[in-house]
RNA sequence: GGCCACGUGGCGGAGUGGUUACGCAACGGUCUGCAAAACCGUGUACUCCGGUUCAAUUCCGGACGUGGCCUCCA
């Protein structure tokens, strides 16, 4: 099986050839834990989860390592912790520990609800301060960094190919720069590796005094420590291309004798909400947690997968309804059949679906395959094995992971009406129908419909569903 | 201002140098007391202007539009 991935470094689709097929390694930038993760944060998590699954399928689960970090040292965290400390009368230190632990746990619960597998490793930045300090020392020794006024800065001028990922030269960037340059910087593009901390800020002892790391160094240090100097894939959102990933490359290559940290750099596109940029001021800031109160995690996931990962994605309620509707129909089809992951060699999964995904993770192109198969299975009385194959294939994308019984039961729970009341209404309506009082029968049905209940008459009985 | 993406039918969304993607919605039909569901059938597209070509939605150039980055935001 040949996997092709679009590499930001070369701006081309390339065949994916791991350095070592018995040790395939991927690093994805994870969240900074200071607040609930929003739906935009969920995109890379879901996208790279599918890639993780594909790699496990292609190379064998034991031979794929996926690292997604948790950034728990950051000035946004410090600011939030200071607010909390003032409000709750606890120490900043305690507030910070509480904030990062709770937010990280919340993030992990949220993305689990979105059907994401746990990464192989989820390192915390604060667990790797020593690795960062060592890396900074290596950068200084190699002539790529310098200390100044308690800071350590990366000397961009020492790296002639700086800008190769973002495809822009320092000169070009300077042309539009409106930022005031700190006086201790040698070059205006130089970025911070280490900065001094005051008493209210978290700090660690270092050769340059008590301080804390800059933003970019943690990913370089953790990637290098956990995956080695060179690994296969590095992923994240497009907005991280510059400066974050560009700086990671500069740091890792500078500290590792020029060895590139990753060979394939993958970036997912941005997400908008109802056609607008998501922002708190517009009031369209959607957290995963809030969305999960209104929608099944699987529907959120389906909606995220509707668009190719590199394309911009417009997140709308309208599309979410379609997602639910599609999943409803598929659950109706498969019922409570069990998946058969051991039958991964089945035609659909092993050839059609995985080949489609292998083309730069073209998940939207795989959807017609599901629709087609669902249509074929609907036309006849499908064998259980066929339904199991359908479910197994959907499971590959992290979809249809429940039984139909559980799926529809969960939907019914979301209704404000008591189930007994609904049954009573149905009986009253059926009595009216028997008496040919269709006006009354329609009145009852409309009344339930107004409350989101759809009735379905069959020759035998009347059942109900939740309308979304 | 500089750099980088993207622009497909009512909506969402793949793809391709010449043949129906697909889904939702809409419309018609079967079924139904009426519906819902299901099934069958139908229609509509490639932002604009140039260029290359026998042929471009697909390649090249430009315009316009949208988004991202250039200030630690996925």
Q: Which residue is nearest to nucleotide B3 (CA to C1')?
A: A168
pLDDT tens sequence across A384-409: 888 898 999 999 999 999 999 999 98
pLDDT at residue A351 greater than cutoff 80? no
pLDDT at A413: 74
User: Rounded to an integer, what distance in angstroms lies between the CA atom of residue A96 and that of residue A125?
Assistant: 14
pLDDT at A172: 67
pLDDT at residue A179 greater than cutoff 60? no
> Do both A383 and A444 map to the same domain?
no
> Do both A363 and A338 map to the same domain?
yes
> Do both A405 and A436 map to the same domain?
no
pLDDT at A45: 96
> Do both A424 and A455 map to the same domain?
yes
Domain count, chain A: 3
Determine whether the distance from the CB of A28 to the nearest atom of strand B is below 7 Å.
Answer: no
pLDDT at A12: 86
> Do both A427 and A386 map to the same domain?
no
Average pLDDT on A124-135 reads: 96
Determine whether the distance from the CB of A166 to the nearest atom of strand B is below 7 Å.
Answer: yes
With cut-offs at 50, 70 and 90, classify the pLDDT of residue A268.
very high
Average pLDDT on A264-271 reads: 93
Last residue of a domain, one of A391, A409, A427: A409
Residue A174 in domain:
no
- CATH number of the domain where residue A116 is located: 3.40.50.620
This complex has an ipTM of 0.90
Nearest nucleic acid nucleotide to A368, CA to C1' distance: B22
Average pLDDT on A159-177 reads: 76
> Do both A320 and A301 map to the same domain?
no
> Do both A24 and A118 map to the same domain?
yes
The domain in which residue A371 lies consists of 316-409
pLDDT at A173: 66
pLDDT at A464: 85
Residue A280 in domain:
yes
Strand B: which residues 260-289 of A lie within 7 A (CB)?
268-272, 277-278
Determine whether the distance from the CB of A238 to the nearest atom of strand B is below 7 Å.
Answer: yes
Which nucleotides of strand B lie within 7 A of protein CB? 1-6, 11-15, 21-25, 32-40, 67-74
pLDDT at A211: 94
Last residue of a domain, one of A388, A409, A430: A409
Average pLDDT on A242-269 reads: 93
Determine whether the distance from the CB of A236 to the nearest atom of strand B is below 7 Å.
Answer: yes
Mean pLDDT of chain A, nearest integer: 90
Residue A160 in domain:
no
pLDDT at A175: 54
Last residue of a domain, one of A260, A282, A315: A315
Determine whether the distance from the CB of A466 to the nearest atom of strand B is below 7 Å.
Answer: no
Specify whether the CB–CB gap between A118 and A109 falls below 8 A: no
> Do both A26 and A105 map to the same domain?
yes
Residue A4 in domain:
no
pLDDT tens sequence across A35-92: 999 999 999 999 999 999 999 999 999 999 999 999 999 999 999 999 999 999 999 9
Q: Which residue is nearest to nucleotide B21 (CA to C1')?
A: A368
pLDDT at A331: 94
> Do both A288 and A321 map to the same domain?
no
> Do both A443 and A385 map to the same domain?
no
pLDDT at A468: 61
Within 13 Å of residue A399, how many CA atoms lie on the same side as its CB?
A: 27
pLDDT tens sequence across A222-236: 999 999 999 999 999
pLDDT at A229: 95
Residue A179 in domain:
no
> Do both A376 and A459 map to the same domain?
no
Specify whether the CB–CB gap between A288 and A39 falls below 8 A: yes
Determine whether the distance from the CB of A96 to the nearest atom of strand B is below 7 Å.
Answer: no
> Do both A307 and A372 map to the same domain?
no
């Amino acid at each position: 099986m040949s996997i092709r991935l679009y590499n930001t470094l070369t701006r081309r689709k390339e065949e994916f050839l791991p350095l070592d097929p018995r040790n395939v390694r991927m690093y994805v930038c994870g969240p900074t834990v200071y607040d609930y993760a929003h739906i935009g944060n969920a995109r890379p998590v879901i996208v790279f989860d599918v890639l993780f699954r594909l790699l496990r399928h292609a190379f064998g689960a034991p031979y794929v390592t996926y690292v997604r970090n948790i950034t728990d040292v950051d000035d946004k965290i410090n600011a939030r912790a200071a607010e909390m400390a003032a409000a709750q009368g606890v120490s900043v230190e305690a507030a910070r520990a509480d904030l990062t632990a709770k937010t990280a746990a919340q993030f992990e619960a949220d993305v689990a609800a979105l059907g994401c597998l746990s990464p192989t490793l989820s390192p915390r930045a604060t667990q790797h301060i020593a690795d960062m300090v060592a890396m900074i020392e290596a950068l200084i020794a190699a002539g790529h960094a310098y200390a100044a006024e308690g800071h350590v800065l990366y000397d961009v001028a020492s790296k002639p190919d700086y800008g190769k990922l973002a495809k822009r030269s320092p000169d070009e960037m300077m042309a539009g720069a409106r930022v005031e340059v700190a006086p201790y910087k040698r070059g205006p593009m130089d970025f911070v590796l280490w900065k001094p901390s005051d008493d209210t800020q978290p700090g660690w002892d270092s050769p340059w005094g008590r301080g804390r790391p800059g933003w970019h160094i943690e990913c370089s240090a953790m990637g290098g420590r956990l995956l080695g100097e060179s690994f296969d894939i590095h992923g994240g959102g497009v907005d991280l291309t510059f400066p974050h990933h560009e700086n990671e490359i500069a740091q890792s290559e500078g500290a590792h004798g020029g060895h590139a940290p990753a060979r394939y750099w993958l970036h997912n596109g941005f997400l908008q909400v109802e056609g607008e940029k998501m922002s708190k001021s517009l009031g369209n800031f959607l957290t995963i947690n809030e969305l999960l109160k209104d929608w099944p995690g699987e529907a959120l996931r389906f909606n995220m997968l509707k668009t190719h990962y590199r394309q911009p994605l417009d997140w709308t309620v309208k599309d979410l309804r379609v997602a639910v509707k599609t999943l409803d129909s598929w659950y109706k089809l498969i019922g409570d059949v069990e998946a058969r992951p051991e039958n991964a060699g089945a035609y659909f999964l092993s050839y059609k679906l995985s080949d489609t995904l292998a083309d730069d993770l073209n998940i939207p192109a795989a959807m017609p395959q599901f629709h087609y198969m669902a249509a074929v299975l609907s036309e006849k009385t499908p064998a259980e094995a066929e339904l199991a194959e359908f479910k197994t294939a959907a499971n590959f994308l992290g979809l249809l992971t429940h039984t139909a019984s559980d799926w529809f039961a969960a939907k019914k729970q979301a209704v404000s009406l008591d189930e007994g009341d609904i049954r009573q209404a149905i009986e009253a309506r059926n009595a009216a129908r028997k008496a040919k009082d269709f006006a009354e029968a329609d009145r009852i049905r409309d009344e339930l419909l107004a409350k989101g209940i759809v009735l379905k008459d069959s020759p035998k009985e009347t059942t109900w569903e939740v309308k979304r």
